A = this chain, B = another copy of it.
Amino acid sequence: VMRAALGRLGIPCPRNLVVESPEEVGAFGLPCVLKTTRGGYDGKGVWFVTSQAEADEVFEQATSTGAQILAEELVDFRRELSALVARSPSGQVAAWPVVASEQRDGVCREVIAPAPDLDPDLAVEAQQIAMTIAGELGVVGVLAVELFETSDGRVLVNELAMRPHNTGHWTQDGSVTSQFENHLRAVLDLPLGSPDARVPWTVMVNILGTDARGELFDGYPHALARDPRLKVHLYGKAVRPGRKVGHVNAYGDDLEDCLERARHAAAWFAGELGDESE
């Protein structure tokens, strides 16, 4: 439904087709990506298939649950970007700086705001895509448009999320108005706040649950003592391996410094560092 709507709006997307059988996957072209048309998130309901046998297997597995399957071209991309906007019912739109997000196993791991070395024209195009989608679909609140930056210098829409989004968590500490504040302002039809960055760089790294760290609270003393400028956001969720249970933001003038601080803190909270000597 999302791909059909974007197609009608002329938004650049990966080539895609609803496929009814494994044979149609072969005709669409291999390798490709297969997705269930509903219910997917964090890499769930998404398969990379390189052979007809793999396509057969996905169909057997997915269609037994009644799911419909969408085939998409495998995009040759440099990295993933996210264009975050907030839109109010009266039509005002605020667009945050376009960020780079790093996904591993289908899960967002870290976000750099703004996306380093992004061509300014491409950044504007990504923001315009997000504003067009928000306007045409009548979005009220925050919309995150996840995009591929292709190796040949284009942007293609990967996914939409019509809500405050993981790729916007950096705004809590790095922008004048956070995605959460602007989401509420939009829902209340109040004027939106400035989405400008407050600092040259903000890095957000997710804290994923592991078996090594039972109580996230135990991570605080070292993390806060090591970095008095770190901002920690824990969600109060039970820790389960791979589950997003919090995130950290580190901001400043130097990107490498922010990356090091945020990655260290997230790994420490996750219990991945073993001991401080690592």
Q: Which of A25-33, A131-139, A222-230 contacts B (4 or more CB under 8 A)?
A: A222-230
Q: Does A190 contact B (CB under 8 A)?
A: yes
Q: Does A160 contact B (CB under 8 A)?
A: no
Q: What B residues does A177 contact at CB under 8 A?
A: 228
Determine if A228 and B191 form an interchain contact, defined as CB atoms under 8 angstroms apart.
yes
Docked CA distance A219–B90 (Å): 18
Protomer copies: 2
Determine if B176 and A220 form an interchain contact, defined as CB atoms under 8 angstroms apart.
no
Q: What B residues does A225 contact at CB under 8 A?
A: 191
Within 8 A of B (CB), among A189-210: 190-194, 196, 198-199
Determine if A221 and B190 form an interchain contact, defined as CB atoms under 8 angstroms apart.
yes
Q: Does A213 contact B (CB under 8 A)?
A: no
Rounded to whole Å, the gap between the CB of A232 and the closest CB of chain B is 10
Contact pick for A185, options B198, B224, B229, CB 8 Å = B224
Determine if B190 and A224 form an interchain contact, defined as CB atoms under 8 angstroms apart.
yes
Can you give 6 contacting A-B residue pairs, CB < 8 Å? A176-B228, A176-B229, A191-B224, A193-B230, A194-B229, A196-B229
Known: A190-B220, A190-B224. 17 other contacts (CB 8 A): A185-B224, A188-B220, A190-B221, A191-B220, A191-B221, A191-B224, A191-B225, A191-B228, A192-B228, A193-B224, A193-B228, A193-B229, A193-B230, A194-B229, A196-B229, A198-B198, A198-B199
